[in-house]
Structure 1
Amino acid sequence: MQGINNTKFENKTFFYRMKLALIFMFLLTTLLVIRIYNLQIVNHEYYLEEALGNQMHTLPITPSRGKIFDRHGNILATNKLAFRLTLTQEKTKNIIKTLQQLKQSGFINDNDIKIFNKNAKRYQKFHSIPIKYNLNETQVAKFLINNTFIGVDIEPYFHRIYPNQDSGVHVIGYVSRMTKKDKKNYDKKNYLGTLFVGKTGIEKQYEILLHGTNGLQQIERNVNGRVIDTKIIKPAISGENLYLSIDLDMQKKAETLLKGKRGSIVVIDIRNGEILTLVSTPIYNPNWFVNGISHTNYNQLQTSANIPQLNRAVQGLYPPGSTIKPMVALVGLEEGVITNKSSIFCPGYYKLPNVKRKFNDWKKIGHGHVNVKDSIAQSCDVFFYDLADKLGIDKLHDNLDLFNFGRKTSIDIPGESAGILPSKAWKKINKNEPWYRGESLITGIGQGFIAVTPLQLAVATAAIANKGLLFRPTLLKNTQVPGNIIIESKKKDHHIQIPIKNIQNWEDVIDGMKQAVYGPKGTARRLNNGLTYSLAGKTGTAQVFGLDAKEQYIAEKLDEKLRDHALFTGFAPIENPEIVIAIIVENAGNGSSKAAPIARQVFDVYFNKQLNNTFP
């Protein structure tokens, strides 16, 4: 009982505890004041920005992609309003579960989920990530009526479309989803938010012009993450519209003429180098690629033996055959090895001294006595065997190089091949073998190692028509900033002049090409029936593989891929040339019967439009 009534002890204990409590409360209050001071005074600006960051987001505004037109204003590529399904990671509690529910509801499939998971790492948590593109109206309506997916929304966007379907695909190209590799090639800041970029053709060549400049918008969200205000900080600048030199009517006509065949047709305006037609067949639909190509269509392209994605006009390499003879004849005239009066007797074959092998002419009974004009008109191989032997490969190489063979033409489209213009040095480097005399002979008729693109043939033939003026071929004609006037595209280093020793030599070669169409023995004489314009041309038949002197070529007995290529080059009108054409039809056989008639129909389209004043 004594311990209980010890008031003095109890008071002492009480005051001791009160003292400790006050000290503890003082320390806590001091810490709290310091913390408040630190938050409100010292780091006020930092935490204010952090708070605003949770509320405000700055997002890119993707610019509208520029349109592509032909020379007459016909639309080749444009944009259409479409809708896509998106998911925002910070608003979705269980992303895996949500994706599976969307799949079960029929909105997406396994491939969509795979692509989403692949792309998700590239986005910030507050970004809306596309899951499915180009939703149809039924899908949009179904989603909006039954939307129970938190963080999943429908967003509008502009979808790239090619209204002419497969027509012009090798010129226009296509856009498709941006990859990691693509991101390295473009300005990261300007392409933030960009989902599609040009992959081939003009879409890739002029990607920067077509893309435009990103804008910026500020998004304000409430505590629930709902957008309550949007403010544009910097508006996006739309991409430029491009006007190509292509004539859509001629393009479609040429594609129709080559339908079911492998080949190429190139038509160039001789006066300025503008390309009017650039066809490669078979063709395919660029719309397949825009939102991701299906497995069926992808396998169809990849497994096709005809390689539809190969742009034969600028990438296909072919022996030029007899279409190179006008250039070889000109080399002989300019080098003084022959004159316009030189002639040779053609018995149907050619032999080198002390060599057993015969070099056969395409005409077994021979052409008899022929001069340079006759040899071009009748395509006499023996004349050119002899001429090539006299010239030698070095002179042939150096002079044919002036016509841009063996070099890229620098056309404004990606993927161009340089071709092959053989020489002694070329063979030593590539084959580690010496050059043989007989190889000069077959080079003179466009066979052997020489390989050219249809575009190179067109450019070289245009130089003949222009009497040495060699234009760089171009596809871009004009540009236009949306809302402004159309501006003519600037062309740098647009043409060069091939040195001329005697202008009469050029006239003689042109006359030989004229006689190919109008001469009684011309290989393209069938073309002159009912012509309303003057036409000079050269037929060609190029072997895919070599034959021994005693072997006979019988197309019907050969696999289709081993048959000769049919070629034709020509220009019109002869007096004041306007357009030039180069045609290659793979494994079609004779150039005079298979390629030349196609050229006539393409020329007719052009001159009929001229007659009706519909071709500026």
Structure 2
Amino acid sequence: MNNTVELRDHTREIRLFRIRLAICAVIVIILFGLLFSRFFYLQVSQGEHYTTLAEANRITIQPLTPNRGLIFDRNGEILAQNYTAYTLEIVPDQVKNLESAIDELATVVEITPEDRRRFNKLKRESTRFKSLPIRSRLTDIEVARFAENQYRFPGMDIKAHPLRHYPRGELVSHVIGYIGRINDKDLEQFEADKRLKNYRGSTHTGRIGIEKSYENALHGQTGFEQVETDAVGRPVRTLSRVAPVAGNDLTLSLDIGLQQAAVQAFGDYRGALVALDPSNGEILAFVSKPGFDPNLFVDGIDHANWRLLNESIDRPLNNRALRGVYPPGSTFKPFMALAGLELGKRSIRYAFNDPGFFSLPGSSHRFRDWKPGGHGWVDLRKSLVISCDTYYYMLAHDLGITNIHNFIGQFGFGREIGIDIPGEVRGLLPSPEWKKKRFKQNWLPGDTISVGIGQGFNLSTPFQLTFAMMLLANDGRAYKPHFVKQQVDHNKHLVEDNFVEEMYRLNLKQEYLDYVKQALTDVTRPGGTASRAGANAAYTFAGKTGTSQVINIKQGERYNASRINERHRDHALFTAFAPAEDPKIVLTVLVENGGSGGSTAAPIARKVLDYFFLGKMPEPAEKAG
């Protein structure tokens, strides 16, 4: 066996090794060059960009929601206040299977079907909101239970939010209104008004009433804070802070005691009452009965309660004082009387023998007085005291519709007067032009006769009647009606307290004004249609009763309330001021389907006046069968 020994060429191996080593060195140098280039690109060329991104991940800007301003009555009683509640919120974009996640969540915190409906509705209406509430007003136990299980629910969190509470509830619902959750439509409006920045972090805004019309004052100024967070987004420390500024507090002219007395005086009746101070236009009471609980709307009303309110035959959501339109009936007559005197169609001494009806020339149709056989000899004073229809049929015929429309329109009928809550309606003071446009028909002489006693096409609101009576009580001076008496900021510094505004003055003869006001004072005395309400009063008051027809009565038939469905019976009205010689209050009472103004509305007004002057809280009115 031959053993061959291979001799190694060390020189050649060393040369190959050096070549390989050089190649590796070049590769390493190239790799390090590439790495260095990348480092240079990231740290130098793009350094500022990535520093900004890192800071953005580490630092967040969080809005700080301001406390909403409080609302008080004229005596300092709280009508709208704030409290903090825990809300369980979901960011839908961060939850993979939303319905399943909510099902699982319901095993930890109670989630009702109504909570789900409300959440889904918010999801449809508030697409620009990342976080939406699924449950509000969580208890401390529910908060603790969720915190223990929060790791199971990514995209869900508990937040503390300020909410609104209305301690007087239904009593002032149509005045104060309520706040509601902000939706996409609101955000679009904020953006158009350049207010969007001030609503970052806010969840609610005013919906109706004072809450809506004074939204800018009540909302306040949103603050901001820079917060450093850890890798999972939890706050570590606050870097800087701009504190929010609370909204302004409002003091209203409303007297909650008078408001309560008015509601109590109505008893079970439906209707409205408006009372104001004739010397400055401050609204003292503003009742629409029935009302509703505004607290139901703050965080979204549930379906069952919404149906109860929206479908109720009593229409509790309708603001009868501001938006309810009714024929003014005989409360229209004082203004007709002034029109007759001022336009020279009647004199103080004019009188006639009332046959109990009026017929147009050449017509057999009779416009009947409420009293068969008439009232005997009637002058202007007596026409108001006993509310003689025939007198005003004749006067309307002599004046003509154009004179009626132009003169009485000065008292606020048929137009928006202006008030610091939204929703006022114009009512209707008819004219030939209106009828032509509305019905494509000519005005008829009989239309004028009906307007003369506040019937026919004539429609007004309790608010308009109160404003008109203020003008009469004030000898023609009109002050702008308003609720807000004072604004103070979060430091209790006065912002504004001069809300009194004289709108205009009517040029009326004092002799005529005094004569009509004296006749209205006699309405509440023996022989007048409101004598029952005026009996044994410790003060003088002037007023006019009215009865507003709901359905037409055929020619030759007489009205009989006992044979008519309760909802088809006449409305009862009474408008008044007191004391008659130096008015401190003007008020109008409207009782839906209450029958006679003298027997229903005037006694309610008397109870309210007794509270105003004597502090006597009334007994509820007994509703007729």
Match for residue 392 of structure 2? 384
For 2:500 and 2:169, the matched residues in 1 are separated by 33
Match of 2:182 in 1: 178
What's 2:517 paired with? 510
Distance 1:431 1:93 in 2: 59
Shift of 1:137: 3.8
Name 2:488's counterpart in structure 1.
Answer: 480
In structure 1, C-alpha distance between the alignment counterparts of 2:332 and 2:580, rounded to whole Å: 18
Contact 1:259 1:281 in 2 (8 A): no
**1:435–1:6 Cα change, 3 Å:** farther
Counterpart residue number, 1:549 = 555
TM-score (norm 1): 0.93
**In structure 2, what is the Cα distance between the partners aligned to 1:266 and 1:52?**
60
Q: CA deviation at 1:121?
A: 4.8
Cα offset, 1:409, TM superposition = 1.4
The amino acid across from 2:80 in the alignment is A
1:563 aligns with 2:575: no
Q: Against the structure 1 CA distance between its residues 223 and 609, is the aligned structure 2 distance closer, same or farther, given a 3 Å change threshold?
A: same
**In the alignment, which residue of structure 2 is the partner of 1:336?**
344
Q: CA deviation at 1:27?
A: 3.6
The 1:354/1:86 distance shift into structure 2, 3 A limit, reads same
- Does residue 581 (structure 1) correspond to residue 584 (structure 2)? The answer is no
Work out whether residues 91 and 150 of structure 1, in 8 Å CA contact, stay in contact via their aligned partners in 2.
no
* Separation in 2, partners of 1:15, 1:538: 122
Give the aligned residue type for 2:200: L
Could you tell me which amino acid in structure 2 is paired with residue 182 of structure 1?
A: D
Does 587-596 or 256-265 show the bigger shift?
256-265
1:297-312 alignment runs, 5 A limit: 297-312=305-320
SS at match of 1:299: helix
CA-CA distance at 1:106 after TM superposition: 3.4
| Cα distance, 1:36 vs structure 2 | 1.1
- Amino acid across the alignment from 1:484: K
Q: CA deviation at 1:25?
A: 3.6
Identity of aligned residues (%): 39
Work out whether 1:86 is the aligned partner of 2:93: no
Distance 2:447 2:20 in 1: 113
Structure 2 partner of 1:603? 609
**Offset of 1:183 from its aligned partner?**
1.6
- Following superposition, the deviation at residue 4 of structure 1 comes to 12
- What is the letter of the counterpart of residue 321 of structure 1? G
Q: How does 1:417-496 map to 2 (within 5 A)?
A: 417-491=425-499, 493-496=501-504
Q: 1 CA distance for matches of 2:305 and 2:221? A: 33
Contact 2:280 2:501 in 1 (8 A): no
Gaps of 5+ in 2: 618-625
Correspondent of 2:402 among 388, 394, 401: 394
Q: CA shift at 1:90, angstroms?
A: 9.0
**Structure 1: how far apart are the matches of 2:104 and 2:341?**
78
Q: Deviations over 1:447-482 (max 9, x none)?
A: 011110100000001111111011211011101112
1:552 deviates by 1.9
Greater alpha carbon shift after TM alignment, 294-303 vs 333-342: 294-303
Spell out the pairing of 1:83-162 with structure 2 (5 A cutoff): 83-87=86-90, 97-113=100-116, 115-116=118-119, 118-119=122-123, 121-123=127-129, 129-144=132-147, 148-149=151-152, 151=154, 152-162=156-166
Matches within 5 A, 1:265-276: 265-276=273-284
Pick closer, same or farther for the CA change 1:545–1:88 going to 2, 3 Å.
Answer: closer
The one-letter code sitting in structure 2 at the alignment partner of 1:446 is G
Q: CA deviation at 1:493?
A: 4.9
Q: 1:4 to 1:48 in 2, by over 3 A?
A: farther
More deviation, 227-236/73-82: 227-236
Give 1:238 deviation, angstroms: 0.2
- In structure 2, distance between residues paired with 1:234 and 1:94: 38
Give the equivalent residue in structure 1 for 2:327.
319
Question: AA paired with 1:249?
Answer: G
Which amino acid in 1 is paired with 2:81?
A: T
Q: Does 1:167 align with 2:171?
A: yes
Q: How many corresponding residue pairs? A: 605
Q: CA deviation at 1:23?
A: 4.7
The answer (yes or no) to whether the contact 1:220–1:228 under 8 Å persists in 2 is: yes
Q: Is 1:47 aligned to residue 37 of structure 2? A: no
For the Cα contact (< 8 Å) 1:568–1:591, is it kept in 2?
yes
Compute the displacement of 1:386 (Å): 0.4
Alignment of 1:219-238 (within 5 A): 219-238=227-246
Q: Sort the Cα spacing of 1:121 and 1:546 in 2 relative to 1 into closer, same or farther, 3 A.
A: closer
SS at match of 2:403: helix
Letter in 1 for 2:518: D
1:261/1:141 CA distance change after superposition, 3 Å: farther
Give me the whole-angstrom Cα distance separating, in 1, the residues matched to 2:176 and 2:240.
33
Distance 1:582 1:492, change over 3 A: closer
Whether contact under 8 Å (1:165, 1:285) holds in the other structure is: yes
CA change 1:561–1:77 in 2 (3 A) is same
Of stretches 376-385 and 545-554 in structure 1, the one that deviates more from structure 2 is 545-554
Greater CA drift, 558-567 or 490-499: 490-499
Report the Cα distance in structure 2 between the residues aligned to 1:9 and 1:385, rounded to whole angstroms: 136
- Choose from 236, 260, 268 the match for 2:268: 260
Distance in 1, matches of 2:594 and 2:62, equals 56
Q: Which amino acid aligns with 2:241?
A: I
Amino acid in the other structure paired with 1:301? L
- In the TM superposition, what is the alpha-carbon distance from 1:549 to its structure 2 partner? 2.1
Q: Secondary structure at the match of 1:53?
A: helix
Cα deviation, 1:363-419, whole Å, max 9, x if unaligned, reads: 112111111111011100000000010000000000011001111111100111011
- What letter is aligned with 1:75? I
Residues 149 and 345 (structure 1 numbering): CA distance in 2 closer, same or farther, change over 3 Å? farther
Instruction: Check conservation: 2:542, 2:576, Cα contact below 8 A.
Output: yes
Aligned to 1:190, the other structure's residue is in SS state: helix
CA distance in 2, matches of 1:8, 1:92: 70
C-alpha distance in structure 2 between counterparts of 1:110 and 1:36, whole Å: 56
The question of 1:293 aligning with 2:301 is answered: yes
Aligned to 2:543: 537
CA pair 94-443 structure 1, distance change in 2 beyond 3 A: closer
Cα distance, 1:37 vs structure 2: 1.2
Q: Distance in 1 between matches of 2:556 and 2:570?
A: 18
Cα distance change on mapping 1:4 and 1:298 into 2, 3 Å: farther
Alignment match, 2:621: none
User: For residue 526 of structure 1, what is the aligned residue in structure 2?
Assistant: 532
1:243-277 deviation digits (Å, cap 9, x = unpaired): 11100011111112224322100001011000000
The 2-side partners of 1:81 and 1:362 are apart by 59
Q: Which moved more, 1:14-23 or 1:213-222?
A: 14-23
Question: Which 5+ residue runs of structure 1 have no aligned equivalent?
Answer: 612-616
Match of 1:38 in 2: 41
Amino acid at match of 1:557: R
Letter in 2 for 1:546: N
> Structure 2 vs 1, CA of residues 281 and 230 (structure 1 numbering), >3 Å: closer, same or farther?
same
Note if contact 2:530-2:545 (Cα within 8 Å) is conserved in structure 1.
Answer: yes
